[in-house]
Amino acid sequence: MSAAENAMLSFRAGEILFPEKIVQIFDEGTQERINCLPATLKPEKICGVKWVSVFPPNPERYGVQNLSAVIILSEIEKGFPVAFLDGTLCSNMRVGAMGGIAAKHLARSDSRTIGFIGAGEQAKMHLIAMKAAVPTLEECRVSAKFDHEEEQFVREMTPLFPGMRFQVAGTEAARAMDGADILVTATSAQAPLLKAEWMKPGAFYSHIGGWEDEYDVARQCDKIVCDDWETVKHRTQTLSRMYKDGELKDEDVHGNLVELLTGEKPGRESDDERTYFNAVGLAYVDIAIAHAMFRRAQEAGRGQRLTIQEQMIFQHEKLAEWIRV
C-alpha cells in the first residue's frame, strides 16, 4: 500500500511517464484480451512494462485462472533489463492495495464485517489489504458462483486470520453482503449482482471488476471515488455505463483517490455516509509495486540471476565452429 501511495503522489507531481496502453481484444463478447502497459518511474530511474492477459471464460472453460501477467523492469541509465517478474501476483497485490488505501479514507474505522461477491485471488488479496487498513474487521462472509469456491476461500484464508469468523453464503449473494460494513465485488461477471438494498448507511463499497452492481448502488452513495475518473469513464465498469447512459455526470464523482491522500478532498465525513470506490487499474502503480518487490528480493538475496546476452554473437570465439555456410 505504501508503494501504491507513493506512486500516486509521484504521478501527481509529474515524476512518472505513463503512455497509453495497447489493447488487443480477441473476442468482443467475452472481452478476451492481452494488454501492454508501460510506465517509467523517473526518480527511481526504472522503466517497466506489464504484459497481461485477461480471459474471463478460463475458469469454466479450462479450469484455470482468468488473468496472467509478467512484468519487465529496465534501468534507464544504460537501458538494460534488470528484472523479470510474475505480474499476476503483482496485479492482484495492486488491486488489494488500492482497495485498502481507499478503505483507510472511506470506510468506517470501526468496521466489523466484510462481505464478498467473488472468491478468487483478487478477493483474497483484498481481504488481506482490508484487514491491514481496517484492523477492527472480525467477520468475513463470502459468496461465489459455486459452493466449492466459497469453501476454498475459507480454507485458504482461515490460517492467515485465525481470529476472524468466516461464513459461506451458499452462493446467495445477499447472505454475504446484506448489512456488511464493507462490501467487495470481485468477479468477472457482466451483470448487476450487488443490490442497493443490501448496502446499509455507513457502508463502504469497493468495486473491482466491470459491471457488478445495479445503478442504484452508486445513486445512493454520498461519495464516489475512483483511482482515475477520466480513465474509468471510458471503460466498462458500472460507473462507465452510467456515464454513457447519462445517469452519472463528472460533478457526481467526489474525486480521485490521490486527492484524498493529499487532503485536497475529504474522505469519510460522517458515520452514516455510504461510500463507493472504483479502481480501473493504473499500470504505473503495478510497476511501482513490482519495483518494490524487486528491491525486497534483492535485499533478501532471493531470485534467479539470468544472463540474456553475455556478448555480441559475432564476438563469440566458437561461432565459426557452429556456422556452416
pLDDT over threshold 90, residue 310: no
Kindly report the average pLDDT of the chain as a whole number.
94
What dihedral do alpha carbons 150, 155, 157, 159 form, nearest 10°?
A: 160
Q: Which has the higher per-residue pLDDT, 65 or 9?
A: 9
Confidence band (pLDDT; 50, 70, 90) for 56? confident
Query: How buried is 61 (Cβ within 10 angstroms: 0-12 exposed, 13-18 middle, 19+ buried)?
Result: exposed
pTM of the model: 0.90
Q: What is the pLDDT of residue 31?
A: 86
The percentage of the chain sitting over the pLDDT mark of 90, rounded to a whole number, equals 83
**Per-residue pLDDT for 182 more than 70?**
yes
Range in 35-44, 92-101, 181-190 the model is least confident about = 181-190
3-state helix, strand, coil in the chain (%, to 5): 35, 25, 40
211-213 and 190-194 strand pairing: parallel
Residue 126's CB: how many other CB atoms inside 10 A? 28
The confidence score (pLDDT) of residue 316 equals 81
Distance, CA of 97 to CA of 91 (rounded, Å): 10
Distances (CA, A) of 260 to 122, 288, 291: 23, 20, 24
Please, what are the domains in the chain? 2-89+283-314 (3.30.1780.10), 105-278 (3.40.50.720)
The whole-number average pLDDT for the span 185-212 is: 92
